[in-house]
């Protein structure tokens, strides 16, 4: 054995094992197990306490031996715990798959359970070869048009966006300094999760929730009370126009679009901004290097579903500049980054 300086054993790098490739490929198995639990409602069925697989099978109308195998796998992933008597209980992590808890990730898991999502991902190679959305290739129209044609699916997608922004919304609100009486427009704001956090933290501002007609119709039923009380709900197409405001917020919106389309949206934002207004963007920002990066995988999700993309700081700066905006700051936070911009000074 070699010795490092000081006589301590030197760490000899281990040769990679082919089994590591299997572990990577098995990511699909993990996703499938979690998605199946979401579709069946396993977490809600365990909300009141531990149950045996036979008891759960009756409650969920499932095949008991097969359900036991799923529960055993979920326990190995840390979502369930197997008790001494063989019953299964939710762990603190598994609680987030319940439908009735703050921060529930169930809607996102339900999106991953959709046939459309899984089939699109199996066609990733098409997107890589063509640069086009696998979803649009498979289903004949863009994701947004597809959602508009299915009210239930649109509702699930809106709920998933709410889940995605649940932990980000308070961070966005906390890092915004807002003048009294200013107007904040949440553009593409779905059910208003981010706008609600801003209105709660800044009681002196006015709000506008702006999104597609189907999303605004859903928001009238599901938006937080503070949004319904203190904000205008406005339906429209942000590729055509954006409501005038002092502060415009785009949360996980730009990554849905190609550079050309994102540039059109940003130009609309610049035209809608008050003279000294600000643009606030929440996105993943891809960092250089080969370290594990959630944003690099989210980037593939955007490619497959929308032909959109995640971006580096430099790419954001160029995108802003082409739309007549200046990227003023990038603040890394948990789960993403807060980018702030303003109209370029003449």
Mean pLDDT of 42-51: 98
The domain in which residue 70 lies consists of 19-100
DSSP classification of residue 254: G
Write a three-state SS string for 220-238: HHHCCHHHHHHEEEEECCC
Catalytic residue among 68, 202, 252, 255: 255
pLDDT in tens, 121-163: 999 999 999 999 999 999 999 999 999 889 889 888 888 988 9
**Predicted TM-score of the model (pTM):** 0.88
pLDDT in tens, 267-285: 999 999 999 999 999 999 9
Please state, in angstroms and rounded to a whole number, the distance separating the CA atoms of residues 220 and 158.
12
Q: Does residue 222 sit in the same domain as residue 312? A: yes
The CATH number of the domain holding residue 69 is: 1.10.10.10
Backbone angles phi and psi of 181, in degrees to 5: 80, 0
What average pLDDT is seen over the chain? 93
Annotated active-site residue 255? The verdict is: yes
Domain boundary among 100, 128, 143: 100
**Domain total of the chain:** 2
pLDDT in tens, 87-111: 999 999 999 999 999 889 999 999 9
Q: What does the block give as tokens for 35?
A: 């998605």
Domain boundary among 100, 119, 143: 100
Q: Does residue 178 sit in the same domain as residue 85? A: no
Please state, in angstroms and rounded to a whole number, the distance separating the CA atoms of residues 74 and 71.
5
């Amino acid at each position: 054995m070699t010795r490092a300086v000081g006589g301590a054993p030197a760490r000899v790098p281990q040769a990679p094992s082919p089994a590591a490739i299997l572990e990577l490929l098995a990511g699909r198995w993990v996703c499938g197990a979690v998605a199946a639990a979401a579709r069946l409602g396993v977490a809600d069925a365990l909300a009141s306490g531990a149950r045996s697989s036979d008891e759960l099978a009756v409650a969920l109308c499932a095949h008991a031996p097969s359900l036991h195998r799923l529960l055993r796998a979920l326990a190995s992933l840390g979502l369930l715990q197997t008790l001494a008597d063989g019953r299964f209980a939710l762990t603190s992590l598994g609680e987030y798959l319940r439908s009735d808890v703050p921060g529930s990730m169930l809607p996102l898991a339900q999106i991953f359970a959709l046939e459309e999502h899984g089939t699109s991902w199996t066609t990733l190679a098409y997107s890589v070869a063509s640069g086009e959305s696998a979803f649009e290739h498979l289903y004949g129209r863009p994701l947004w048009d597809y959602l508009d044609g299915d009210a239930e699916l649109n509702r699930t997608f809106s709920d998933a966006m709410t889940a995605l922004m649940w932990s980000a919304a308070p961070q966005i609100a906390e890092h915004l300094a807002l003048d009294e009486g200013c107007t904040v427009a949440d553009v593409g704001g779905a059910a208003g999760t981010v706008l609600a956090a801003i209105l709660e933290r800044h009681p002196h501002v006015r709000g506008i929730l702006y999104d597609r007609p189907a999303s605004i119709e859903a928001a009238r039923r599901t938006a937080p009370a503070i949004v319904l009380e203190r904000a205008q709900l406005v339906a429209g197409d942000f590729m055509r126009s954006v409501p005038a405001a002092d502060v415009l917020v785009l949360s996980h919106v730009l990554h849905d679009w190609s550079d050309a389309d994102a540039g059109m949206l940003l130009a609309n934002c610049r035209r809608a901004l008050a003279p000294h207004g600000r643009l606030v963007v929440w996105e993943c920002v891809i960092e250089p290097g080969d370290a594990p990066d959630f944003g690099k995988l989210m980037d593939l999700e955007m490619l497959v579903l929308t032909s959109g993309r995640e971006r580096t700081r430099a790419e954001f700066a160029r995108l802003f500049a082409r739309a007549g905006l200046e990227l003023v700051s990038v603040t890394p936070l948990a789960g993403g980054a807060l980018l702030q911009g303003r109209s370029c000074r003449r």
